[in-house]
Amino acid sequence: MRLRGTIGVVTGASSGIGRAVALDLARQGVHLALVARDAVALGEVATLAAVHGVRTLVVPLDVADAAAVAAGCARIREQLGEPDLLVNAAGFAVWKPFLDVDVDEHRQMMDVNYWGTFHCLRELLPGMRARGRGGIVNVSAGTGTFALAVTSGFSASKFAVRGLSEALYRELRGSGVQVSCLHPGSVRTPFWDDGRIPPAGLPAIVRYAPKLSPAAVARQVRYCLWFGFPVRTIPIFVAFLARLDAIWVRLADLVLWKWFVPAALALVGLRLVARRLGVL
């Protein structure tokens, strides 16, 4: 899909993945509507994006509010034009054992992660279908392909995004509107706050794995728009874990076992020692 000169909407654009996606698309010549709740942060992103010669529009709203999304999309159409691209990157997470997450936190995760995606799609998809062209990327998560013990609410909302994306991909195939679902693993953003995601509750392979940069995720969003990948999971070890989980959940359990990383490192160390001693 050709990006230069198109009009794109990016949710969650004030920080993290959404911010990186917005700036990456601006470098590709995409005119941008920047959506999030923080108007000040959106203004800063708009200033950085405008350096690349694109038009920008700051649209402060809560994607969980259907009426606000409808009003915001009407403003986007009026001031920028009918959008060609939509990247749903807004997200909210609380990672704690199921009974430690209160009902309001569970509801907020579903409201932002799933219903926020839903509201934006309902407002912008009709215009794309009518014109017979468009690109949509819904940002799910690695835990939208397999669930960790402390991600009940978050994984439920991201699995919902995955299911919605897959259904729309098949429903819209051949219409000129492409739908992709991106599942990034851990990303270096304010999302990884110890108050919301206590490190002690995470498996070692998740806790100690290198985190992706927001820029790396933004590149993958661009690849989805360029090539129309229906689903993409990054990095490779997260994709591998998702495949194991899909084949048989017990295989994923093995990798997520708290002693897996120490045991694997110990085996590598023993092998190196054995080689040094000439045993192997």
Cα-based distances in Å from 157 to 4, 41, 50, 96, 173: 32, 26, 33, 15, 24
Question: Which residues does the chain have with pLDDT short of 50?
Answer: none
Residue 201: per-residue pLDDT: 63
Residue 256: per-residue pLDDT: 63
User: The whole model's pTM is what?
Assistant: 0.86
Residue 203: per-residue pLDDT: 66
Residue 4: per-residue pLDDT: 97
Residue 243: per-residue pLDDT: 77
Distance CA 131, CA 128 (A): 5
Q: Are strands 31-36 and 7-11 parallel, antiparallel or unpaired?
A: parallel
Question: Which tokens is 247 given?
Answer: 């084949």
In sequence order, the 6+-apart residues with CB closer than 8 A to the CB of 78 are: none
Residue 211: per-residue pLDDT: 83
Residue 186: per-residue pLDDT: 83
Residue 245: per-residue pLDDT: 72
Per-domain residue ranges of the chain: 7-247, 249-280
Residue 237: per-residue pLDDT: 75
Residue 104: per-residue pLDDT: 97
Distance CA 95, CA 158 (A): 13
Residues 128-161 have pLDDT tens digits of: 999 999 999 999 999 899 888 888 999 999 999 9
Architecture of domain 7-247: 3-Layer(aba) Sandwich (3.40)
Distance CA 213, CA 76 (A): 29
From the CB of residue 193, how many other CB atoms can be counted at a distance below 10 Å? 12
